[in-house]
Amino acid sequence: MKKETNQSDEWQPCPPGLLGRTVRLPKRRRRHEAVNRALAVGLTLLLVAWGGVYMSSRVHENREFHFGGISCREVHKFMPDYIAHALPPDIEKRVGQHLARCPDCGVLMKQMQQGAPAATSSIPHPIGGVIDGRSISMAPDMPVREQTALAALVVNLRGN
């Protein structure tokens, strides 16, 4: 009994280059996956960094900062009492946190502290006052940067 040989059961020679392509294909896939992962990580880090910069520079309407859970407008109202240490402890703490982080209010506070202390304590509101017999005050919707500039002007002129 002779077994008939079927051509499909026998080894066939590989066409030239088939084994090389078979070996290179998984390597190429792994390399592409590694590059794609690296790009995904890089883009994610870039997006997170951009979001951090965006959120840290984000300010509310009229460029008013809200550091320490208190707005610039509220800090301006509390500045004379803060200088005189006449605020309740919780508000004094929030104003201090705000002043430590807010560039505009920090500058205004330094200018108010460098001015005449008696003059600043006599101003009922840190962003208004009387100079040369004329009352100076701000509109409630005036941007905070302009309020800061005007308050510094009032403090400096009253101190001179």
Q: Could you tell me if 42 and 86 lie in one domain?
A: no
The length of the chain in residues reads 160
Q: Could you tell me if 144 and 113 lie in one domain?
A: yes
Q: Which of 3-7, 35-39, 51-55, 152-156 bottoms out in mean pLDDT, i.e. has the lowest?
A: 3-7
Q: What pLDDT is recorded for position 139? A: 59
Q: Distance between CA atoms of 62 and 132, rounded to whole angstroms?
A: 30
What are the pLDDT digits (tens) for 126-138? Answer: 445 555 555 555 5
Q: Could you tell me if 149 and 131 lie in one domain?
A: yes
Q: Distance between CA atoms of 125 and 144, rounded to whole angstroms?
A: 14
| CA 156 vs CA 28, 74, 112, 118: distances in Å | 71, 21, 8, 13
Q: Which domain holds residue 135?
A: 62-159
Q: Could you tell me if 68 and 105 lie in one domain?
A: yes
What are the pLDDT digits (tens) for 6-45? Answer: 556 788 888 888 888 888 888 899 999 999 999 999 999 9
Q: Could you tell me if 128 and 151 lie in one domain?
A: yes
| Residue with the larger pLDDT of the pair 83 and 6 | 83
Q: Could you tell me if 74 and 149 lie in one domain?
A: yes
